[in-house]
Each structure stands twice: as structure tokens, then as C-alpha cells.
Chains A and B, each alone.
Chain A
Amino acid sequence: MIWQWRLSDMKLRTKFVLPISALVMVCMIVLAGYLIQRQSESYHRELESQGETMIKILAINAESGVLFESPYELDPLLSTLSHFSSVEYCLIQNLEGNIISHIGQNHIPLDTLQVLRDCGRESINLVSDYIVGREGKELFVLVYPISTEKKVMPRETLGMTGGVDLSLTQSTVSETIGWIELGMSVESVEQATTHATTAAVFLTLIVLLATILIVILIVNAVVQPITTLVEATDKISRGDFSTIVQTDHDDEIGQLAKTINRMSASLRQSRNEIEQYNRTLEEKIIERTKQLDDAQTQLIQSEKMGAIGQLAAGVAHELNNPLGGILGYAQFTLEKLHKNIPDKTTPKEIEGYLRYVGDIELQTRRCKTIVQNLLRFSRSSRTVDFDEIDVNQVMGGTIAFVEHQLRMNNIELEVQLGTDLPTLQGNAGQLQQVFTNLIINAMHASEQNTVITITSRYHHALGEFGGTVEFNVIDSGHGIAQENIKKIFEPFFTTKDVGKGTGLGLSVSYGIIKEHGGEITVKSEIDKGTTFTVILPVQKKEQLADISKDDNSDGEQSV
């Protein structure tokens, strides 16, 4: 159980190498064992047959030597055995057990040999056995009878054969006359076996190593791409879709790699798309939120303006008559004072009266301007005529109008008007009012010996109808505080002293630019300066006509 779990837990490489190596090893051991066994057996058989051959040859050649019990004949015979390293000893005995000749040392205790010898004496055949001698030395001992041929007379033979075969006049009978005993050393056999075993073990090791090497190579060839794949998929699973599995295989693994590449590519694409969607969505949300904000601000602004407009209309209506009276009477009085001076008044008094009434007239005119400005908020004041105008020319006129004032304040004017400005539909008087207010505002904000820059240029196709014209009035004055930026377009917002500004200039300008379908914006930094930008669309005639139609229908209700 634990082993199984471990096997399944092992790395692929180990999983392949271990069992295959084990299998190869077992096979090799079994095979080598079997081969060694066979080899050793065949060595033994060889030894045995060698011994047999030798002993039989010796027995034949020793016949006469034994018959005559002549060591002189037997000794040279046995000495030929010394050529064979495997022969340990050899002895020849007669029937009485006396050793006639011998070679080598008999290392085997006699009692161990006795049984074999007895057997050999009894038998007419070869008797052999392996016997462990002194010092643990193993010997292969053979015992073989030496026999001689005796010619037997037919008489004697007839009795034995029953006289059946008369043609056999004489026959031979072999008679044992001694024994020959040969001891052969098993050492060489054992040595050969040991050599074989060593070789087998060596071979086994080599084969095993080679197997392991080959298996590792094969497994590597299989596992390496798999490892790469595993690493790649791991990266992909962690969100790194840029991974590309390099492969030049065309097999299943190569196909798997290609599939993974395709998968990661499509994942990458999907993620990019999702990110793209997210980004566009975010951008859209931001854009829409801004639009909503803008719309809301504009709504609030226009509601505010609407309310102011209504109020202004009412106020104007009520104020203009008394103002008319005041202005008229002041002028009337002035005229009268000029024409017929009452007798009793001194010239000095007259001068005083003239100044008083003159002041009344002047201030009434101021009031008139204020009320007129106020009225611009009223919807009913929108019905101004639009003509084909050259805005650069309008700006030029404005500049000529304010230049004197600027010079008095030691403020330089730098004018950079674009030369390619087209004409557009607008009201020159109103636009001049806007420009005048912007320049005067800049002048009020500027220190002496500074420059006010006025630029204009044409943006070709920015607007929907033939582009836009942009005007900038740039000063390096005291700037506008952040919290005031939002308020400057509101009516009656002013930071100027009472009497110097009414706070209507920019709100009127705003209304005028809106009527022209344009934009007026401001960029300001405290103590660095302010830039007012007016953008007017070119060619909006049709739309303006629509607006005036709407105004007419509204107007009938308001009267």
C-alpha cells in the first residue's frame, strides 16, 4: 500500500528506470547463473571424459608392465602424465594391492578412498567419484581395472557354450591383473568456473549499466518534452500566457505542445480582449460620468441662468421706466441749465448743478448698462441678429477700443492673430462685448509692465461644421483661486471693489458664447496667470435658425 503510493508519487524517470533495471538485473542473474551452471557442468564433463580417456589408454598400455610387475616399463608410462597439469596423481597396483608404479602425491586419506577402491576392484568397469581430500582440495578420482586377454581352449569353451558354434575354435577371456587409479585436480575446472562467473558478473554489470543508461536516455527523450510541457502549463496556469513551448517533435507530445501553444495563444487573446474591454469600459464609464457631471453642471447652470434671466426681465421691465424718467429729466435739466441760466445763481453754482445733474445722467447710463447686461440672461434677449462676420476683425476693433486703457496702465499687448480664419455666423457687437470683458479682466489682474497676449487660430475639422475658431486671452496676472474658478461665470460674482466690477462680465460672455454654439473655458494658476479660451464653431447657420424659431414660440407666452 505504502509502496504503491510511493510508486505513484515517484517521478516519471524513477518510475521507468527502477523497475526496468531491476527486471534486467534479475534476468541477467538468472541467465548468468544458468550459463555458469552449464559451463561448470561441461567443464566437469570434459574433465571426466579426459580422465576416462587417459585412464583407459593407460590401462591398455600398462598391461604388460603389470603382468611382469615391472616398474621400469610402467614408470615412463606414468611420467607422460606429467604433461597434463590436471593430473594430480596416478598409481598402478597389482591384484595384491601393491603399488607397482606411481606418480604425484595422493592427497586423499586412504579410508575415504577405500570404498572407491573396493568398488573398483570388484568391478570390471570404470568407477569414479569426486572426493574431498586433505586441505579441502577436491579431486576427481577414477579407478579402472587393468586386464589381460587369455586364450581359452575350445574344449573348455565347448563346455560353456554347449558346443553350438563349432566354427569358434578358440576364444579370448579377459582377466583382471591390477588396477590403475587416477586423481585429477578439479582446481582448473573451478578456476575456469570462477573466471566464467567473474565474466558473467562483469557482463551483467555492464549490461545493467547500459540498460540504465539507455532507459534514462529514452525516458529523458520522453520526459524532457513532458517536463517542458509541465513547466509551460504551470506558467500558463499562473497567468503567464506569453509562454510558447518550443518543439520540433511531430509525435503526440509535439502535437500536445502545439495544442498548448494554441490554447495559451487563445487564452492570451481572450485575456487581452477582456483587458481591452475593461479598459474601454473604464474609459467609457469615466467619459460618461464626466458627461453626466457636465450635463448636470450645465443643467444647474442653465437653471440658475434661467431664474436669473426671469428675475432680470422683471427687474428690467420695472427699472427701465423709472430709469428712463431719471435719465430724461437729467438730460432735460442739463439742457435747460445750458440754455437759460437763472439770474440769481452764480457761475460757480451753475457749474455745481451741471456737475450734479451730469453725474445723475452718467450713473443712470451705468444703471442702464447693468440692466441690459442682466437682460442678456432672459431668454427674450436672445433674439440678436447673426451675420457673416470676420472674428479677427471684431477682435481688432476690440483691441483698438481698449488699447488706450492698457497703455495708461503700462500693460503691453501682444497680438498673434491667425491669418487663415474663415468668417462665421455671429453677432459682432456681442462678441466684441465678450472680448472687451476678457481683456479688461486680464488688465485688472495684471501688474504694470506685463504683457497680455491675444492669439487666434483656426482648427480645421475639429467641429462638426467646418471646424472651429479659437481665441486666447493670456495674462500673467494674479490668477484665480481654485475655489473661485467654478464661480466666475456666475452672475454677480466678483472679487473687485464695489463700483469697479459688477460680476456680470463673464456670465454675460458665457451666455453670448453659448448662443454662438461655442465654448468659453479658463485655465489659471495663482500668481502665474490666467488664460481664457473662446472656441467658436464655423458655419452653424441652420442650427441658429432653429433656435430663434423656438424662441419665437416661447416669446408669445411670456408677453
Chain B
Amino acid sequence: MAKILIVDDSKVIRDLLTEFLGELSYQVDSAEDGAKGLKMASDGGYDLCICDVHLPKLNGYQILTELGEARGKMQFIFTDSLPDELADQIRKTTGFACLGKPFDLHQLTEIITQSLEKIHT
């Protein structure tokens, strides 16, 4: 089953996603700031990272760029609580989806399925 990493400074979002995605029988881990998230992501083994844009220590975009080659086939789904320039930049340059909070769970699951399909193709 696919492994998903959640990087979000908001506990309620981490809890919600952990439980919800767990229910959908994904293997879920989470980190509460950018530095931790980066470390866990680079340690490897995740198929997908649901990453907030605005994070303490390192923002979502930085995590992605720091990872570089180490990312491998890992996919990203960004979430943002503020549609600012950073979020916009991510939308425009990374090619990954960026969901505005509060997001729709059904929409999220759809995007997760799509992202995971990319790994296998």
C-alpha cells in the first residue's frame, strides 16, 4: 500500500488526514515543520507528500527544491491556507497540484489517486 507523508504545522489537519487516509488504508506519517518534513522525506520510502506551503523553518517549496534528486518518484500535493505569491509560484512552476484550505476531502482523494497513478506510469 502507498506510503504518504503529511507535513503540516496545523495539528487538526495532521490528525484529520492521518485518520482519514488511514481509513482509506494508506500508510501515513506526519511532520509538523519543514525541517522535519524534509528529513523524513529524504530518508525515503514515501510515494506521496501532502505538504503545506506555509511552514515553520522551511516552506513547502524549499522542501521540494532541497530534496532535489533525492525526491525520486515521490509525488507532492501542496496545500495552502493563504493564496499568496508563494502558493502561486508553486502552482506555476512545480507542476504539482496546490489545494486551497479548507479543501474538500473528496477532491483530495481524487488528486491522491491521480498522483499515485503517475508513479506507476
Contact = CB atoms under 8 A, between A and B. Distances in A.
Contact of A328 (B13, B82, B88): B13
Contacts, number: 90
A313 B101 contact: no
27 contacts: A313-B84, A320-B81, A320-B100, A321-B10, A322-B10, A323-B101, A324-B10, A324-B13, A324-B16, A324-B79, A324-B81, A324-B103, A325-B10, A325-B12, A326-B102, A328-B17, A328-B105, A332-B23, A375-B82, A380-B85, A383-B84, A551-B85, A554-B85, A555-B86, A558-B84, A559-B85, A559-B86
B57 interface: no
A328 B84 contact: no
Interface in A372-415: 372, 375, 378, 380-381, 383
A559 B84 contact: yes
Nearest to A319: B81
Given A325-B12, A328-B13, A328-B16, A316 B81 contact: yes
Contacts of A320: 81-82, 100-102
B16 A317 contact: no
B25 to A, nearest CB: 14
B88 A383 contact: yes
Contacts of B10: 321-322, 324-325
A324 B100 CA distance: 9
B67 to A, nearest CB: 19
Contact of A329 (B16, B83, B84, B103): B16
Given A321-B10, A321-B13, A324-B10, A368 B82 contact: no
Interface of A: 313, 316-317, 320-329, 331-332, 335, 364, 367-368, 372, 375, 378, 380-381, 383, 551-552, 554-556, 558-559
Contacts of B79: 324
Contacts of A372: 83, 100
A322 B16 contact: no
Interface string B8-42: 00101101110110010000000000000000000
Contacts of A375: 82-83
Interface of B: 10, 12-13, 15-17, 19-20, 23, 54, 59, 79, 81-86, 88, 100-106
Tell me the dominant secondary structure on chain A's binding face.
helix
Contacts of A559: 54, 59, 84-86
Given A328-B17, A331-B104, A367-B102, 11 more contacts: A324-B13, A327-B102, A327-B103, A327-B105, A329-B16, A331-B106, A332-B105, A381-B83, A381-B84, A558-B84, A559-B59
Given A332-B20, A555-B86, A327 B104 contact: yes
B81 A380 contact: no
A328 B23 CA distance: 13
Nearest to A368: B102
A331 B105 CA distance: 7
Nearest to B17: A328
B12 A380 contact: no
A324 B101 contact: yes
A309 B16 CA distance: 29
A494 to B, nearest CB: 24
Please give me the 5 A-B residue pairs with the lowest Cβ-Cβ distance, nearest first: A555-B85, A380-B84, A325-B12, A320-B81, A321-B10
Contacts of B100: 320, 372
A12 to B, nearest CB: 92
Nearest to B103: A324
Contacts of A368: 102
B82 to A, nearest CB: 5
Contacts of B106: 331
A313 B82 contact: yes
Contacts of B82: 313, 316-317, 320, 375, 378, 380
Contacts of B12: 321-322, 324-325
A325 B59 CA distance: 21
B102 A323 contact: yes
Contact of B101 (A321, A378, A554, A555): A321
A398 to B, nearest CB: 22
A240 B91 CA distance: 76
A328 B102 contact: yes
Nearest to B15: A325
A320 B101 CA distance: 5
Nearest to B53: A559
B50 to A, nearest CB: 12
B90 to A, nearest CB: 12
A324 B23 CA distance: 18
A324 B20 CA distance: 13
A364 B10 CA distance: 17
Contacts of A551: 85
Contacts of B103: 324, 327-328
A544 B83 CA distance: 19
Nearest to B80: A320
A317 B102 contact: no
